[in-house]
A and B are shown apart, each in its own frame.
Chain A
Amino acid sequence: MEKTKLIIFNKENVEELLREFDFKFSLEEEGNAIIDSKGEIVGCETCKVNLTTDKVGNIAYGSRKIFCDNPVCFATWVVENKIK
Chain B
Amino acid sequence: MISFKEFLEILSKWSPIKINIDKSTKIESLIINKNKLEVENGFITLGDKTKIKIQQDKTGKISFLKDGTEIKSSVGISKKDKIRLLDKEKEVYSRADVSENQFNFLSIEQKHEKIILEFKSLLKDYRRNLDLGSLLLASTIIELEEKGEANKNKIIELNKQLNQAYENVGRMIYNLFRSSILTSEILPHLRNLKKIYGEKAKEKFLVYWYDIIEGGYPTAYFIKHDDMFNKEVVFKQLNWRFDRGTEYVDVYSRGKFRNTITIKECSEYCDKNEKFSLDPGKPYKLGYTEAIKIRIKRKNN
Q: Which candidate, B162-170, B179-187, B271-279, B291-299, is the interface stretch facing chain A? A: B162-170
- A40 part of interface (Cβ distance < 8 Å): no
Contact in complex: A79, B68 (CB < 8 Å): no
- State A37–B150 Cα separation when bound (angstroms): 45
Complex contacts, B166 vs chain A, CB 8 Å? 72
| Minimal beta-carbon separation of B290 from chain A (angstroms) | 27
CA distance A8 to B4 in the complex (A): 13
Question: Is B82 touching A71 in the complex (CB atoms < 8 A)?
Answer: no
Evaluate contact between B93 and A17: CB separation under 8 angstroms: yes
**B92→A79 contact, CB < 8 A:** no
Q: Is the CB of B91 within 8 A of A76?
A: no
Q: Chain A residues with Cβ under 8 A from B74's Cβ?
A: 7-10, 13, 17
The yes or no answer to B23 lying at the interface (CB within 8 A) is no
- In the bound complex, residues from chain A placing their C-beta under 8 Å from that of B20 are none
Answer whether A8 and B130 are a contact pair too, CB < 8 Å, given A3-B69, A61-B86.
no
| A residues 26-84 in Cβ contact with B at 8 Å | 46-47, 56-62, 64, 69-80, 82-84
Quote the shortest CB–CB distance from B39 to chain A (angstroms).
19
Which among A4, A13, A77 has the highest number of chain B CB atoms within 10 Å? A4
**Contacting pair A11 B70 (CB below 8 A):** no
Q: Is the CB of A79 within 8 A of B135?
A: yes
Q: How far is the CA of A73 from the CA of B166 in the complex (A)?
A: 10
Interface stretch, picked from B95-103, B192-200, B235-243, B281-289, is: B95-103
Tally of A-B residue pairs with Cβ under 8 A? 175
Q: How far is the CB of A55 from chain B (nearest CB, A)?
A: 10
Q: Which residues in B have their C-beta under 8 angstroms from that of A82?
A: 106
Contact, CB under 8 Å: A46 / B129: yes
Best-surrounded residue of A4, A64, A72, A84 (most CB of chain B within 10 A): A72
Instruction: Tell whether, in the assembled complex, residue A70 and residue B161 are in contact, meaning their CB atoms are under 8 Å apart.
Output: yes
Given A9-B12, A9-B74, A20-B82: A72 and B161 interface contact (C-beta under 8 Å)? yes
Contacts A71-B101, A72-B161 given; does A58 touch B94 at CB 8 Å: yes
Tell me if B124 counts as interface (CB < 8 A to partner A).
Answer: yes
List chain B residues, Cβ under 8 A from A59.
Answer: 86, 92-93
B102 close to A3 (CB less than 8 A): no
Q: Are B95 and A58 in contact (CB under 8 A)?
A: yes
Most chain A beta carbons < 10 A, residue from B87, B134, B136 = B136
Binding site for B on A (CB under 8 A): 1, 3-11, 13-14, 17, 20-21, 46-47, 56-62, 64, 69-80, 82-84
Sample (24) of A-B pairs whose CB atoms are under 8 Å apart: A4-B69, A5-B71, A6-B93, A6-B94, A7-B73, A7-B93, A8-B71, A8-B94, A13-B74, A21-B82, A57-B98, A60-B93, A61-B92, A71-B101, A71-B137, A74-B98, A75-B133, A75-B140, A76-B129, A78-B102, A80-B129, A80-B132, A83-B113, A84-B117
Binding site for A on B (CB under 8 A): 8-9, 11-13, 68-74, 77, 79, 82-83, 85-87, 89-99, 101-103, 105-108, 113, 116-117, 120, 124, 129-130, 132-137, 140, 158, 161-162, 164-166, 170
A-B residue pairs, 3 tightest by C-beta = A76-B133, A75-B133, A10-B12
